[in-house]
């Protein structure tokens, strides 16, 4: 069923920017403002695509490739994840490692296109990003490994389709530990508070924003798009564990998964509104804590 298999990437492209709108609206509600329109991210992306780009003379083809590659990578990754009742388009044994490494590839190109500009400012952001991702990748990998051990499959498609309420009753502790660890990884990878503030203008506190400062026009549009796609995909991993509804009816499963994603977005908005950003020196502790939770989930039986 080709249509069914392509539904996931299509859904991702269409609905992912809406998530960001929900998060921003939640933060606005908490702050007592009216906030941006829910579809603001779509407007931003279209606006950026219509603009022209400005390239610095010191950059090379790497700088131009980075954003495109990021977008391509996240699209490819969306082919690997199942969503609700929709199966993944491509699925083979061990595709969870490909999943993680695709994100690694995207991060690698973001970092080197940041360093390609030759500005020490972007270099600082790049070094911070690499440090934190070095600590969060083990958490993600071991967390997925824990789920694989729990369900007995090593393909993302099969892993998430077998997470049923029965599994929660028998291995509830493992799943809850993994869910917490993955939530922390979600916050770290998507540059949310408490790891990184997406609205900050202070150079001392930027991590992700500073890497993409020099991109403009369609490049920046692609970067924004790939960021929301990454959020969508990592969110799918979390709700894949926490919302084990598999009633074999596509409509019920998919709509419940969609509702869960929206609830996750609201939850992230609440977390962002109620916490302050951690001091940069304390972020490694948080990430190591996430890794430890994943290790615990892996070891317990």
Partner 1 sequence: MNNTADLIMIFLVLTNLMLLGLSRMGACIRIVALQGVVLSFLPLILNQWNFEMHLVLFSIVIISLKGGVFPWMLNRTLRELSIQREIEPFIGYGISIIAGTIAFLTCMWLSHRLPFPQPLMSPLIVPVAFFTIMSGLFLIISRKKALTQVLGYLVLENGIYAFGVALVKQQPMLVEIGVLLDIFVAVFVMGIAIFHINREFDHIDTDQLSRLRS
Binding site for partner 1 (CB under 8 A): 169-174, 177, 284-285, 288-289, 291-292, 295-296, 299-300
Query: CB of 275: closest distance to partner 1 in angstroms?
Result: 15
Residue number with CB closer to partner 1 (29 or 296): 296
Residue number with CB closer to partner 1 (36 or 292): 292
Query: CB of 301: closest distance to partner 1 in angstroms?
Result: 8
Query: Where are the extended beta strands (E) located within 121-188?
Result: none
Residue number with CB closer to partner 1 (174 or 257): 174
Residue number with CB closer to partner 1 (6 or 300): 300
Query: CB of 67: closest distance to partner 1 in angstroms?
Result: 33
Q: Quick one: tokens of 285?
A: 């502790």
Residue number with CB closer to partner 1 (145 or 174): 174
Residue number with CB closer to partner 1 (226 or 294): 294
Query: CB of 103: closest distance to partner 1 in angstroms?
Result: 23
Which of 52, 81, 14, 19 has its CA nearest to residue 218? 52
Query: CB of 104: closest distance to partner 1 in angstroms?
Result: 22
Specify burial of residue 251 (Cβ count, 10 A radius: 0-12, 13-18, 19+): exposed
Buried b (16+ CB within 10 A) or exposed e, 109-142: bbbebbbbbebeebbbbbebbeebbebbbbbbbb
Query: CB of 164: closest distance to partner 1 in angstroms?
Result: 15
Q: What's the Cα-to-Cα distance from 4 to each of 73, 82, 101, 257, rounded to whole Å?
A: 21, 11, 25, 16
Residue 147 CB partners (closer than 8 Å, separation 6+): 159, 163, 175, 178, 241
């Amino acid at each position: 069923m080709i249509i069914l298999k392509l539904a996931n990437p299509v859904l991702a492209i269409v609905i992912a920017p809406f998530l960001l709108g929900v998060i921003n609206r939640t933060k606005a509600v908490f702050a007592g403002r009216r906030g941006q329109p829910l579809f603001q991210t779509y407007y931003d992306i279209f606006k950026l695509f219509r603009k022209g780009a400005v390239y610095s003379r010191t950059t090379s083809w790497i700088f131009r490739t980075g954003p495109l590659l990021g977008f391509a990578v996240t699209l490819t990754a969306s082919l690997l994840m199942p969503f609700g009742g929709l199966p993944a388009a491509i699925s083979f044994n061990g595709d969870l490692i490909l999943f993680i490494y695709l994100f690694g590839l995207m991060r690698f190109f973001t970092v080197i296109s940041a360093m390609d500009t030759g500005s020490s400012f972007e270099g600082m952001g790049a070094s911070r990003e690499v440090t934190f991702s070095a600590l969060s990748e083990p958490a993600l990998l071991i967390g997925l490994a824990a789920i694989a051990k729990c369900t007995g499959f090593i393909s993302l498609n099969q892993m998430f389709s077998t997470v049923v309420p029965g599994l929660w009753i028998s291995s509830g502790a493992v799943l809850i530990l993994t869910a917490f660890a993955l939530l922390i990884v979600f916050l770290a990878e998507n540059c949310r508070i408490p790891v990184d503030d997406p609205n900050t203008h202070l150079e001392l506190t930027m991590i992700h924003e500073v890497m993409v400062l020099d991109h403009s026009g369609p490049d920046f549009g692609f970067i924004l798009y790939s960021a929301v796609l990454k959020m969508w995909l990592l969110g799918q991993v979390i709700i894949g564990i926490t919302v084990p509804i598999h009633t074999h009816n596509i409509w019920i499963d998919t709509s419940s998964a969609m509702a869960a994603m929206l609830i996750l977005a609201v939850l992230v908005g609440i977390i962002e509104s109620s916490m302050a950003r951690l001091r940069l020196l304390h972020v490694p502790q948080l990430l190591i804590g996430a890794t430890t939770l994943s290790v615990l989930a892996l070891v317990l039986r």
